[in-house]
């Protein structure tokens, strides 16, 4: 039986992890495909996975009470998507929709949470990597807000 380990091992997200950790993560991985317009996840639903985008584009949307969902950001090839599986109550905080045919490695968050409880070194490695992703995304959000509200220095 062929595993997804070789595909996972070449991704920068796992660079620097030991072989045993990569094998453990690969044991929680599967390939998935999403058609244009199909949702990977919806805001408020249970979050039990994250995604490594192999090919395609995903729009992250926030619900609005007064209009259609607002696109917060778009992610593409090679990017990591989804951190809600890490933080109780394990609910999606946004929705993710495929903008074109999209192929992903889907990582089972329940599977990984269990493995991280048994292997704290693995948990720490994953947490460090997701903390880096979250910090980058917060920086990007800050720049978006500055761009939106700073009209050339006028107040």
Q: Is residue 88 in some structural domain?
A: yes
- pTM, two decimals, is 0.85
Count how many domains the chain has.
1
Mean pLDDT confidence for 69-87: 93
Each as own residue / partner, the long-range contacts of residues 17-22 (CB below 8 Å, 24 or more positions apart, any chain) are: 17/125, 21/119, 21/121, 21/122, 21/125
108 vs 82: CA distance, rounded Å: 11
Q: Is residue 98 in some structural domain?
A: yes
Q: Is residue 40 in some structural domain?
A: yes
Higher-pLDDT residue of 19, 136? 19
Q: Is residue 33 in some structural domain?
A: yes
The CATH number assigned to the domain holding 79 equals 2.60.120.10
Distances (CA, A) of 14 to 48, 74, 108, 122, 130: 19, 22, 16, 11, 11
Banded model confidence at residue 2, pLDDT cuts 50, 70, 90? low
Kindly report, residue by residue over 114-124, the tens digit of the pLDDT: 999 999 999 99
Q: Is residue 154 in some structural domain?
A: no
Q: Is residue 57 in some structural domain?
A: yes
Range of the domain at 16: 5-149
Cα 45 to chain centroid, rounded: 15
Q: Is residue 155 in some structural domain?
A: no
Residue 99: what pLDDT? 98
Kindly report, residue by residue over 79-125, the tens digit of the pLDDT: 999 989 999 999 999 999 999 999 999 999 999 999 999 999 999 99
Q: Is residue 34 in some structural domain?
A: yes
Helix (H, G, I), strand (E, B) or coil at 132: helix
Banded model confidence at residue 153, pLDDT cuts 50, 70, 90? low
């Amino acid at each position: 039986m062929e595993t997804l380990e070789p595909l996972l091992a070449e991704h920068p997200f796992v660079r620097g992890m030991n072989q045993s950790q990569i094998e453990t993560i690969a044991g929680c991985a599967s390939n998935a495909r999403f058609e244009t317009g199909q949702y990977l996840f919806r805001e408020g639903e249970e979050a039990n996975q994250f995604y490594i985008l192999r090919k395609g584009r995903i729009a992250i949307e926030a619900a609005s009470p007064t209009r259609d969902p607002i696109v917060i950001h778009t992610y593409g090839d090679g990017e990591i998507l989804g951190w809600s599986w890490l933080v109780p109550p394990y609910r999606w905080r946004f929705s993710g929709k495929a903008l074109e045919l999209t192929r992903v490695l889907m990582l089972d968050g329940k599977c990984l949470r269990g493995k991280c409880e048994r292997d704290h070194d693995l948990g720490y490695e994953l947490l460090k990597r997701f903390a880096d992703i979250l910090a980058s995304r917060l920086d990007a959000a800050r720049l978006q807000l500055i761009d939106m509200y700073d009209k050339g220095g006028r107040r």
